[in-house]
Amino acid sequence: MSVTYIDAIRQGMEDLLRDDPRVFLYGQDISTFGGAFKATKGLSEMFPGRVLDAPISEDAMAGMAVGAALEGMRPIVEMQFADFSSIAFNQIVNHAASHYFRTGVPVPLTMRLPSGGTAGSGPFHSQSMETIYAHYPGVVVVTPATVADAYSMLVESVHLDDPVVYCEHKFLYRWLKAKDFHGDGLPIGRARITRMGCHATVVAYSAMVHEAVRAAEQLQKESGWEIEVVDLRSVKPLDIDTVLASVARTGRLLAVGEAFPWGGVTAEVVSRVAADGFHLLDAPPMRLNARDTPVPYHPRLWAAHRPTSESICDSLKKLLAY
């Protein structure tokens, strides 16, 4: 029997609730209803009084979680969609992120953000918010791309004393499957070489890792090019050492992300490689992001808006032809 990405998230929360009495879940419709995506289905019956419905106020949800964390609890907050977390922005970046630096008291809370686009979801339910939160010191931002990481990175996030923004991709929820959720034990802050190669490096994270692997496999079939794919796993902290080591092997870099291009993770990766690994490059580094427009509703427009294996192939061909 296979395990889906969302199964792993649910199992992580169940294990955390069972193992640590300080853990509780808080979010809109997550108790009896089981959440917008059913990630908490059945947990309120298993753990009475610890899976709590929240008002429709993301600001209040985050503020309550900050207070609970300061009092020694380990809250896991579910935002229905990552887009809605902007309403809680002040609580996350001005209170949770900076509190330890101001007082020496940690704020161990985890914000689950259902992130990224799906066909027909439109501009208010499809955004990728990871770069916005990664901009602020004091916040850990994780972007699991595998079933095993969905489980292990959630468990590790709740064990950290820092506030964590846990970006789980909605497209992966039931599409991505594995035999189990046991991984290789890599900690937050370490990237993974998902596919070895020697001609170019693609750095990606979250759902884009799978698009990058498909593109690499297609180019290998078409032309014999061997593309290395690096899964960042977390974007804050960013494992630039693994990226540089990969570029040292391949001499070429393409950074891919689903978020908007301005000031994104891909921009940070390219700038860091240009600054610290310019001597390793045989071609100018490239990046590929969603288009700089609101996310469209229509499935065909959405498919043209975000990076896909086809557009990654096209970018890699340009990079390899340089």
Catalytic amino acids?
125
Round to whole Å and give the CA distance between 177 and 180. Answer: 8
Please give the Cα distance from 125 to 166 (Å, whole number). Answer: 16
CA distance 108 to 125: 27
Candidates 287, 316, 312; CA nearest to 225 is 316
DSSP 40-100: TTTHHHHSTTSEEE--S-HHHHHHHHHHHHHTT-EEEEE-SSGGGGGGGHIIIIIIITTHH
166: amino acid identity, one letter: Y
CA pair distance 159, 246, nearest whole angstrom: 30
Let me know how long the chain is. Answer: 322
